[in-house]
Structure 1
């Protein structure tokens, strides 16, 4: 699911990658992320290699987080680490994606 060179990251791609994570991020999926959750995080990392792609992915993640009223911030912030993925994009409603 990695983006092609010269291909801008779309919110549709980011949303599709993170869709399996919704139950975990809203507290309905237990305390441990599933393999599908971690695959989604790895997919977002893979498609977010350039600075422009990271900003685009960040904007998409922020928008998706804002649409989910039950999102648990602690679960969102810990998801990449629990999946052993160094993700340069915070999963947050309040992140400044221009930084």
Structure 2
């Protein structure tokens, strides 16, 4: 009986290792991070503290390549939903917040690259 239990545990562990990894970052999370930035993204100027806090949170959410690609796709989709977002303001957002990002914020980004 003990051998059967061990075999089941080993099979379960092997199966978990074979499951393809999925992005843990959702577009809802990305949108929530960037909602405080809308006034900056539309009007320019300087982003508010809440916006920069959201950019920091977004960077923390996307810690591996899969998550970064998912976050990039969500950012791109959000940018394309709002035609009044200034692309130059979006691209400058991480620098203005002092947050180095591996995720470009643009309507035209190739998220697979």
Moved over 2 A (4+): none
Cα distance in 1 between the residues matched to 2:106 and 2:29: 18
Instruction: Write the distance in 2 (CA, Å) between the matches of 1:24 and 1:53.
Output: 25
Structure with the higher fraction of residues in helix conformation: 2
CA RMSD of aligned residues (A): 1.3
1:25 aligns with 41
1:86 match: secondary structure: coil
Distance 1:7 1:54, change over 3 A: closer
Which one of the candidate residues 66, 76, 93 is aligned to 2:107? 93
Aligned length: 92
Q: 2:49 aligns with which of 35, 56, 66?
A: 35
Q: Is 1:56 matched with 2:70?
A: yes
Question: Which of 73, 82, 91 is residue 77 of structure 1 equivalent to?
Answer: 91
Question: How many angstroms apart in 1 are the aligned matches of 2:46 and 2:52?
Answer: 10
Q: Which runs of 5+ in 1 are unaligned?
A: 1-5
Residue 7 (structure 1) shift = 6.6
TM-score using structure 1 length = 0.89
* Structure with more relative contact order (C-alpha pairs < 8 Å, separation 6 or more): 1
Higher Rg: 2
Q: How does the TM-score come out when normalised to structure 2?
A: 0.78
Q: Answer yes or no: is 1:10 the counterpart of 2:26.
A: yes
